[in-house]
Structure 1
Amino acid sequence: MALKKFAQTRWNVEAQRVTLYPYRIFNALSIAFGIILIGFMVVAYIMLEQDPVVSFSTGVPMFITFAIIVALIWAVGRTVVVFDNEARMMRKKLFGVLSIRSERFDDLANVGMVRNTMGGFNYRAFPKRDKYGKGVVVSASYAKDDDPNAIALSDEAFSVISKFLSAGYQVNDNAQLLITDFKFYDNNPPYYSIKRNVVGGLIIGLALLAVGVNELINHSITHDSDTFHKVLVIVAFLGFGAIFAFSAFTKVTFDTNAKTVSRENLLGIGNQTYSFADFINFQITRRTTNMIYSGTDVKMYFQIPGSNKQKILPLKSFRSTKKIDRFLEESRYIMGIR
């Protein structure tokens, strides 16, 4: 518990400046690392070297090396993100000193929440040129929405930052953009269906199924493996093949007459239908595989009438975040919302 508190985001709010410390986890790691290294050196001194001269000649360089490593880890924890309203600039300073990224307030879209595939989240600042990209990390990671530190950070720091950013924002009083050429929807009023790559998904699905069936019969890949690994490989190929083939025939349709959005498939398994009136917001989730970016998912959140529960409707996955803005514009236009 103490380590978690030590690693939480810290912030300093002044009249014209907000300073955030999002990497304090490295301060905690440096302390733990330092304790481990000191213990290692003590054991090495006692067990390996009995001659004081030899111990000194080998121990001092080792201590200096370890001390530098610990100091660097600690310094990373001092990295800050500063929102300076006087200069109208956001600056990220490595070690709290070296400016490694700067963005003008006029070029920032917002500070928003980014969820990962495990359900955790952190906050990031996004430039307008890439509003759904990697962004600039401005907080530690949180596991739950009701984390007290996350709530306090939003209330005390992000509320002030929002005022800084909105001070120079030019409101557009024009009517909602008229969209006649849909890039992501098949337009057949009152029905608008998200375009699908049916052929591509079907080919991949059938190919995986074919490999799985072949493996089931001939054991081409797992001929030297034990039974457990053979079953694991076969199930993986057949399972992923079925998912790709099944998803190729799954479609999401907006019905502007009934004011509903539905996700349906040929078998009718897991079909979902929600009312526009219950729509809460869109959510963007960045997916990572082994710490490597693997795509971004766009989902819709709906409130279940008569309960406190919410439901998620997956819409579309993207490899390039630059296309998400247009997709959201078209989706909002179809639903009649800004």
Structure 2
Amino acid sequence: MAKSYQISKEQIVTRPLAFLAPVGIVFIVMFLLMPVMVTLLSVEGNISNITASDMKGMVIVMPFILACIPFFTYSRRQIIFNAADHTIYRQTIFRRKPLLKFNEAGDIVLKIGMGQSYYLKALADRYGKGYRISSSFSGEKDKDKHEFEEVVLPAIRQMLALQPAANLVYNSKVLFEAGILNYYTEHPQGYILKPGGLLKLLPGLIILGLGACYGWYTVITNPGGDKALAVGTSVGFVFMVFAFTKRLIFDTSARQVIVYYLGLPISRYALANFAGFNIVRKTYNGLYSGTDVRLKFQKPSSHSTTDVTLADFNKTNPIEPFIAETEYVLSKAGSGSAKL
């Protein structure tokens, strides 16, 4: 339990899904042992009889091992109670998302299902699911549950009771200057956009990886295998990997926005040519499918502009703070005041 929470004067951090990491390890070990055991049984325990073709099972289980990655990414998720700005955040491996202000937090309730976990409700949504703030406990006799109730819950309630000074005004620029950024992180070249939206590509990456492995397995083991499936899924997998490795860096020394793929700089945009933001509402078959936030750049020796997509939001309420943070990064990168 000691590793699933941290308490200090400035903030309280809990890791409600920390238990997923050992679960992921168990699945990976299981997937690795399955082809090994099958191979040993096929050669009747005689290791010297093992050939390269006997190890093809290792190739088959690789996509299943990749599918265990979310166990480890979700296990790193944190709930942060920040006393500096009286805000509760959800921290993932890519970004920090504000959930509630302290004065918007409601009751902390215990929910019982497969296990027991504590959830924080919002005042505006008392009947909603709430936000999970504790790990899963086995029951009333669980020592970790008693520790959470005796140590963490009182500290959280005490911090939530804090009231901001009457003259305190929320100033995002002050927080930015203090290094509190939700969508960007500092980089040796300047600032890099956290690739939070790229997690949407992970399911497709896993499915295409499974399809490619299956397709090539049928082609290798059967001359009449479906080559179209193997080639098609492999090409899709390569393009998905290419998209998954996209990174945007705001280079403060070169005064450029640089787009990287596979770790290589593919395109550069001079901040001197920055022409504002472009907010694009997307639809698919008439249904809302998200909103893009893009940077507009004036093309040299031309009256036209080109866009660079920064982020894709399913909801519109994070767009305003995202733009405010981007304006700060642009100003630090030497573009002057950003405009919308």
TM-score (norm 1): 0.41
Larger Cα-atom Rg: 1
TM-score, normalisation: structure 2: 0.41
